Chains A and B, each alone.
Chain A
Amino acid sequence: MNIQFNNRDPVYVQVVRYFKNQIAKGFLEPGQAIPSRRELANQLKINPNTAQRAYKEMEEEGLIKTEKNQPSRVTSDENVLQDLRDELIVQAVSEFVSSVKSINVSLDEALNLVKQKYEKGDSDD
């Protein structure tokens, strides 16, 4: 587990974003146990208060569940997982649209490029 933190976004938000990506990509599976707050702070080299805050946020969003005396687990709720996937897709597409729009790329041109790239399997990931 390794995150390159930027200094302008709240650290807890960056941690939540990281977990969302891991879940959406399937690296963290539904029901899988995640590290304790203390372990997470240690692994990511962050303040334990920040780890606590990130987990609280994810609990409120329903992404993770914590039962008493048990490690926190990724939710198995299909709706939450679907919503998460939608959220990430919409976010990525919005970013893409606003950046191609800013350099005056037409919709057709953009779609064509997307199609070509997608089929070639090009990805920076």
Chain B
Amino acid sequence: MIEVNDVVKKFGRKEVLKGISFTANKGEITCLIGINGVGKTTILNAIMKLTPINSGEILVDGKKVTKSTFEKITFIPDSTIMLPGFTINEAMDFMNDYYEVWNQERANEFLKFFRLNPEDKISTLSKGNTAKTNLLLGLSLDVDYVLMDEPFSGIDMFSREQIAEVFTTHLIEDRGVIITTHEINDIEHLIDKAVLLDEGEIYKEFNTEEIREEEGKSVVDVMREVYRG
């Protein structure tokens, strides 16, 4: 389980996370939802220790995040992470050099699943294929937790469908996933849990099947209540 407890983050005087708490379970897909600029990416950066926090704590399986945690958790950002001159093959070699948990077999499955050509240079890829390559590189690590930042934004509908499909396969099964998005439509029926954020605070955290069962509401219905109500 990933536990985020009362995390505060300031940029100068601006408080971007105002005491955020939520949990994400292994084997479940947790979705951080909110419009641009509410602090979604900052939360992921904080979990990965890419940005220091002012107070609060973040635990992965009950332990503070250290260097060894990064063999257990991976972050898939929404921009290119590899040197643009690399081919996909070279990027995979690079990952293999840096991570003990790199799984080439899984990477090959992803190449096939996404129909990517490993000889292609990363700088020449379309936006959709860049996102798919990022997913390939992140998800081919045998880690328990995956953080994904906006995997669907600015990508054509068929690529979005293909990426959403990954969530229904063994390529993701049994892992704990935290995904951020402001477009819930693509994955509304795929997520286990939704965390609604606004202006650095959590408005609501709920299990999606429960809210459908008990209140007959879709995730979008709840969002409408929270953001417009």
Q: Which of B164, B169, B209 contacts A12 (CB 8 A)?
A: B209
Contact B189 A46 (CB under 8 A): yes
Classify the interface of chain A: helix, strand, loop or mixed. Answer: helix
Classify the interface of chain B: helix, strand, loop or mixed. Answer: loop
Which residues of B have CB within 8 Å of A12?
209
Q: 1/0 contact trace for B188-229 toward A, CB 8 Å?
A: 111110000000000000000100110011111100000000
**Which residue of B is nearest A38, CB measured?**
B170
Which residues of B have CB within 8 Å of A41?
168-169
B150 interface residue per 8 A CB criterion: no
A42 interface residue per 8 A CB criterion: yes
Q: Which of A9, A10, A45, A53 contacts B168 (CB 8 A)?
A: A45
Interface size, chain A (Cβ < 8 Å): 19
Cβ contacts A to B, 28 pairs, < 8 Å: A5-B189, A7-B188, A7-B189, A7-B212, A7-B218, A7-B219, A7-B220, A7-B221, A8-B218, A8-B221, A9-B216, A10-B209, A10-B212, A11-B189, A12-B209, A38-B170, A41-B169, A44-B168, A45-B168, A45-B190, A46-B168, A47-B29, A47-B190, A47-B191, A47-B192, A48-B168, A48-B173, A49-B28
4 extra A-B contacts, CB within 8 A, seeds A13-B213, A47-B192:
A8-B217, A8-B221, A42-B169, A45-B164
